[in-house]
Chains A and B, each alone.
Chain A
Amino acid sequence: MANDNEIIDNIANKEYEFGFVTDIEMDVAPAGLNEDTIRYISAKKNEPDWLLDWRLKGLQAFGKQKLPEWQNFKLPKIDFQKISYYAAPKSKKKYDSLDQVDPELLATFAKLGIPLNEQKALAGVAVDVVFDSVSVATTYKEKLKELGIIFCSFGEAVREHPELVKKYVGSVVPHSDNLFAALNAAAFSDGSFVYIPKGVRCPMELSTYFRINTENTGQFERTLIIADEGSYVSYLEGCTAPMRDENQLHAAVVELIALENAEIKYSTVQNWYPGDKDGKGGIYNFVTKRGICKGANAKISWTQVETGSAITWKYPSVILQGDNSTGEFYSVAVTRNKQIADTGTKMYHIGKNTRSRIISKGISAGQGQNSYRGLVQIGPKADAARNFTQCDSLLIGDQCGAHTFPYIESKNNTATVEHEATTSKIGEDQIFYLNQRGIDSEKAVALIINGYAREVLNQLPMEFAVEAQKLLSITLEGSVG
């Protein structure tokens, strides 16, 4: 039987399965971030003046912001002037059907196992594919349209529904929120927009696959989801990226707005290139995700499975403004090789009887470093607010690290805040037990990991849960024997 070290070495040496480069003609902006770049991007997209002005405000804020220093890892130097801020496939025309889409692009998705075809459509998933920066295919649009649901690229929303975009963009994550949010406000490329009208329950999972494809191109999507009163939507975000030698910066912003009695469920599976086993290359994933329960009884639920990126740095948060509103955060974060994850959530209890639930499962292997960082803030008016936090860490091997930074601030003495935390190791005994039932070590580790993450995986929509389970297994498998 392979000993623990061999298993870990194998895991550490596992190559990234989705590393390949698609050769499609690209339209790339010259590197550098300044007013000219912003004007170039805005002009490329034929944007209205108000949006250009907003971008320029973002640029100003970016100039005033400093890189944060509180994180539990060494932030690599990022030269923002060396990054190109716009890339789009050169093909100019819009596609009416998938037949018109570049076959090589479709082949890329096939390699990733993304069935962007009838199968997916039959499964009830409308897919808005963001290939680098511009949406190239949208399915199921008509059916959603009948219900008054808007699901389109951010750029299209700016053209077709400017009043909604203008009203809500930056309302949850302001252009000056933090350095990376400011960067995104200034240079955001494209992204998704969702609006669910009053009382409408979106009948299918809305799904977007993002993919970074051009060397040296930061990708700055912006997602805005608005659930009007009494509506419901479940949104899926899944990501893979090809292998690269140079670090790529990814600074997305996601804003969720749930009005009275509305519910938004946002699920992410993130599997960007984590760098090689020495930590070379890999994506920097610095994302600002925040939702607001604006009205009473609103609910926002974040679920994330994070297996990729060299550095993952994000805290999907919920502002619980409406009375009786609920915020949830379910997370599995895996780090191996030299990967770093500093992730968690913030729950701001403002309204009365607001509830939040945080389940975080960190898995560290190789020399990976995994930090949970969370803030539960109970405001003075949040009578009878409740929070439950459970924060578990699983270690594989003896060179990785797990860290927990829970912050609790309560300004209301009627609040109940609970925090539980555990740290465990995958035991040789567990692996041997499964070996003795005919299961090899590789599958044994996968079983144990999936068992450990079950509580979070169960939150994902069925189809996604299966993919996520596979991803966890693939991520941590080595050719153990």
Chain B
Amino acid sequence: MLIIKNLHAEVEGKQILKGLNLTVNAGEVHAIMGPNGAGKSSLASVLAGKENYEVTEGEVIFEGKNLLEMSPEVRAREGVFLAFQYPIEIPGVSNINFLKTALSEIRAYKNLPPLDAKGFLQLSKEKQKLVEFDAKLVNRSLNEGFSGGEKKRNEIFQLAMLEPSLSILDETDSGLDIDALRIVSKGVNKLRSEKNAFIIITHYQRLLEYIVPDFVHVLYNGRIVKSGTKELALELEEKGYDWLKEQEPSESAATV
């Protein structure tokens, strides 16, 4: 589904990603861990196409297409979803109208007509239930006045509604209390399927107790320095990151 080869990227002249390799197949959940400033969120931003992030070398192939040539909205329509670390507030725009617009755009891209009002409402109700999203928040202005936890849960609700093939969760667990973490994880687990994949960016092993990854990668200094299975996360929890800092990027990272 996603092949990242030798990805180099910089922001404002500063090199952030320095030859990153990663392959994600449908049905897989990959966790990306690493210390602050390793480039985890930058990877998410580069994949989503955020302005200011300039790719200087390497390639990203998403379902056979060159992802880096696409505008952010086209990447989204192709099925790349980023759950933001800090979801943005848009005053006056109702959550549900925003989602309706987004879904219509994505469907139009796939030559599908927009859902009618009834169909959309039904879908919305179904997904709210699936990810335990508060119905009251559906009609409020997009993220405006939402608590940190509500914003994160709204990201998962959007994810459920838009049904992307690749979802990138950028530190979705940060700022969540244990109950919210459980609900968010439950939602993600329900959305997992053979057809989609997840990249979960996190600092802590805690989230991975709820969302069990197929692979865990350690990102350090712009490269993946170690890859393994879920046990690696436990090891990291125990030992910290320091013992990995001297290691060369693992060749296996691209092919696990």
Contact = CB atoms under 8 A, between A and B. Distances in A.
B23 interface: no
Contacts of A439: 73, 101-102, 105
Contact of A447 (B50, B72, B101): B101
Nearest to B144: A451
Given A432-B72, A433-B84, A433-B87, A438 B92 contact: no
Interface string B59-91: 000000000000111011100011010011011
Nearest to B50: A432
Contacts, number: 84
A119 interface: no
Contacts of B72: 1, 432, 435-436
B199 interface: no
B135 interface: no
Contacts of A1: 49, 51, 71-72
A435 B90 contact: no
A448 interface: yes
Interface in B33-60: 48-51
Interface residues of B, number: 32
Contacts of A440: 71, 73, 105
Contacts of B92: 450-455
A443 interface: yes
A453 B91 CA distance: 10
Interface string A452-479: 1111000000000000000000000000
Nearest to A433: B88
A97 interface: no
A100 interface: no
A38 B103 CA distance: 60
A481 interface: yes
B90 A433 contact: yes
Given A1-B49, A447-B98, A454-B92, A438 B84 contact: no
A278 interface: no
B163 to A, nearest CB: 12
A434 interface: yes
Interface stretch (A87-95, A296-304, A321-329, A423-431): A423-431
A438 B73 contact: yes
- Majority secondary structure, A binding face: helix
The contact size tier of chain A is 20 to 34
A437 interface: yes
Given A427-B88, A428-B51, A439-B102, A447 B76 contact: no
B71 A481 contact: yes
Given A429-B88, A454-B92, A481-B71, A436 B76 contact: yes
B229 interface: no
Contact of A437 (B51, B71, B91, B102): B102
Contact of B162 (A437, A447, A451, A481): A437
Given A1-B71, A432-B72, A437 B90 contact: no
B91 A443 contact: no
Interface in B131-173: 141-142, 158, 162
B105 A436 contact: no
A448 B93 contact: yes
Contacts of B76: 435-438
Contacts of B103: 438
A80 B16 CA distance: 65
B106 A432 contact: no
A435 B141 CA distance: 18
Contact of A3 (B51, B75, B87, B109): B51
Contacts of B88: 427, 429-430, 432-433
Contacts of A451: 90-93, 141-142
B79 to A, nearest CB: 10
A428 B106 CA distance: 21
A437 B80 CA distance: 9
Most A CB contacts (10 A, CB to CB) among B73, B93, B141 go to: B73
B91 A452 contact: yes
Nearest to B77: A438
B49 A438 contact: no
A431 to B, nearest CB: 9
Contacts of A433: 84, 87-88, 90
Contacts of B102: 434, 437-439
Nearest to B109: A438
A432 B85 CA distance: 13
Interface string A135-153: 0000000000000000000
B50 A437 contact: no
A447 B90 contact: yes
Contacts of B48: 432, 436
Most B CB contacts (10 A, CB to CB) among A428, A432, A441 go to: A432
Nearest to B161: A437
A428 B105 CA distance: 20
Given A432-B51, A438-B76, 18 more contacts: A432-B88, A435-B49, A435-B71, A435-B76, A436-B75, A436-B76, A437-B99, A437-B158, A437-B162, A438-B103, A438-B105, A439-B73, A439-B101, A439-B102, A443-B105, A450-B92, A451-B90, A451-B92
5 contacts: A436-B82, A438-B106, A443-B105, A448-B93, A455-B92
Interface of B: 48-51, 71-73, 75-77, 81-82, 84, 87-88, 90-93, 97-99, 101-103, 105-106, 109, 141-142, 158, 162
Q: Which 7 A-B pairs have the closest CB atoms?
A: A451-B92, A451-B93, A435-B72, A454-B92, A437-B102, A433-B88, A438-B76
